[in-house]
Structure 1
């Protein structure tokens, strides 16, 4: 009797694996692959992008904005364009490989001057207001924080082919391209789309996540003109500026609402199931 029960149990187990476990494993694998190639999220570790991004914010990132990649690799199989001025891009720091999010302020061929935190691209000021606290990039805008000064200046820097220059919006407190130099355009992984969670407010909803039109990037105070040192061939000290915390800021736009919508629906389903005390807070 015992011998006859064993094949029956194995048959049931195999049947369960085929019907339940295998589809679940495939779904998990597809979700992981989608995060690598289509959409992911970024956790803001500090106040580098205040007031737009606060510490603890979670942000939707379009991983296919600049090209569709083979999952888990950097190989692009379908190109979708290059990073543009004013966009906030996700990339690994050329300095130490830390994942960062900064604003693209200049692209290949641009002549860049930065004086007192104020940008001049190809000889034109980007200031959109009299105080110079708002900069406009080809229709996109960024609000600056100059309470800590403008940080290191740049003088007649030319962006090489295939590169971009990234800066933080909190110009006096950001470890950015003035310290680690240019970023390879094809090494930029994705572009920020929206904030979907903020401390004290919870998950965001109401037809999708919150779109943000400007951002600020925190940059630790540093003496001297370290940014100019990089572009003149003198490298800054290995640890970066005093008080530096690896993080970055983002300019969030409305592009690819489909990605935001999918993540929003997934978040709603988790809330509906009551996972881990998640609570829906309010629409934006």
Structure 2
């Protein structure tokens, strides 16, 4: 055993350093679900900046220092307050914000979002199930992104109003009628935030034939 450890010391050191790097500095996360469509697709692997918000002790949620403040519109990875599952959603509400959804219109602090660039698509949320979807550009309080809604919208078309507590955030998926987010799991405490997603590293069509999607490789999220 000692001989094996000595012969493979370089590889073991590299593995340990890579693990520490991924838990403290930057990480890459494959996305298996469509809750962030059309911004992030199933099969995208996103690059996550773990130093965007906090410097944490590797392998823990203990923060050593605050490095930046989460912003409305950030795409962030976090641990679900419901069951600890790692999720990726968009920060829609900051501490103190009042969030409401009224007939699929998002309101932040009473200000309704504006919607433009209407487009119609067909989505496949589950194998063999096809639904009509509407895609629009949503803009509210300086934050803009493309979102989509299924038709019919279903029970998620209205929510709140609720006020975001201090030190917590309201997260939503861009695929508004197919996302388990703060409407279901509750507010997300800051200590649950892992990092901010900035780019797509690689992408493959995992819903069909696993073919690569080179047009998405290293593309920025929210380039505007």
For the aligned pair, the TM-score class normalised by the smaller chain equals 0.7 to 0.9
- In the alignment, what sits opposite 1:162? 167
1:79 pairs with 2:86: no
Aligned position for 1:56: 43
Inter-partner Cα distance in structure 2 for 1:183 and 1:50: 21
Q: Which residue does the alignment assign to 2:124?
A: none
Which of residues 136, 143, 146 in structure 1 aligns to 2:146?
143
Q: Which has the higher contact order (CA 8 A, sep 6+)?
A: 2
Report which of the two has the higher share of helix: 1
TM, length-normalised to structure 1: 0.63
Gaps of 5+ in 2: 119-134, 205-210
- Greater shift, 135-144 or 70-79, is seen at 135-144
TM-score between both structures, scaled by the size of structure 2: 0.78
| Cα deviation digits, residues 69-119 of structure 1 (max 9, x gap) | 111111111211232111111111122221111111001111111112221
* CA distance, structure 1, for counterparts of residue 51 and residue 141 of structure 2: 22
Query: Which of 174, 180, 188 is the equivalent residue of 1:183?
Result: 188
- Please tell me whether the aligned partners of residues 79 and 86 of structure 2 are also in contact (alpha carbons under 8 angstroms): yes
Partner secondary structure for residue 150 of structure 2: coil
Misfit runs of 4+, over 4 Å:
202-205
Q: Does 1:153 align with 2:162?
A: no
Number of aligned pairs? 199
Instruction: State how far apart, in whole Å, the 2-side matches of 1:166 and 1:56 are.
Output: 21
| SS of alignment partner, residue 34 of structure 1 | helix
Report 1:188-227 matches (<5 A): 188-199=193-204, 200-201=211-212, 209-213=218-222
Instruction: Give the unaligned 5+ runs of structure 1.
Output: 1-9, 214-252, 255-284
